[in-house]
A = this chain, B = another copy of it.
Amino acid sequence: MNALFGKLACVKTKEKAAGGPDTRTRIVRTASRLMQRQGYDGTGIKQISQEAEATLGSVYHFFPGGKQELAVAAIRHGDEEFVHELSAALDSEEDPAAAVLALSASIAAGLRASDWIDGCPITTTSLGTAGRVPDIQEAAAAAFARWRGLVHDKLRASGIAEEDAHALAHTVISTLEGAELASQVSRSVEPLEIAGRHLARLIALHR
């Protein structure tokens, strides 16, 4: 045990190739994944520390604000993760309608690959704490706004008017969010596939 953590401490500041991610990163990643699946109240600090192969002391060392601070970090991590998926999909196609179609396919593939367990990385945590933990709500609202911003910019770049781009970005994010939820509950990619087609058509109307 001591020898193991000695090695970890050896690479504490910057992860080396063979050492894996550092403790703080492991904790945030684990918290994000667990809360995405089980929600805020359904995920215990001890479960996080165990699955992250860290100890309770480490968790409270890096997150003195306790579970709430950890949850906010987890939401931000999920935000970042989805931004990458979103950007990749938007960049994969010149036409925004085709890009949104690619995005819905990407989300559907990820959902099915996780056996319908890993939905939106922030929805579950955010919904379960609505009106109770303002920090989490703010982090979630910021994430949604950021995602909408990326879609908005893509639409603007292809010549869609500001007003239309604003509204379309809202609907693209809302619809994909709802369709992912519906796909997860019904254990079928159909809602996401249909949503992708309808969104593409809606976007095509504005060019």
Copies in the complex: 2
The answer to whether A123 and B38 touch (CB under 8 A), given A171-B198, A186-B145, is no
> Across the interface, do B185 and A174 meet the contact criterion of CB distance under 8 Å?
no
A residues apposed to B, CB below 8 Å: 37-42, 115-117, 119, 123-124, 126-132, 137, 140-141, 144-145, 167-168, 170-171, 173-179, 181-182, 184-187, 190-191, 194-195, 197-198, 201-202, 205
Q: Which residue of B lies closest to A42 (CB)?
A: B41
Instruction: Name 22 A/B residue pairs within 8 A (Cβ), A-sorted.
Output: A41-B42, A41-B128, A42-B42, A42-B128, A115-B131, A119-B127, A119-B130, A123-B127, A123-B181, A124-B127, A130-B184, A130-B185, A141-B186, A145-B186, A167-B194, A167-B197, A167-B198, A170-B194, A171-B175, A171-B194, A171-B195, A198-B202
| A181 cross-chain contacts in B, Cβ below 8 A | 123, 127, 174, 177-178, 181
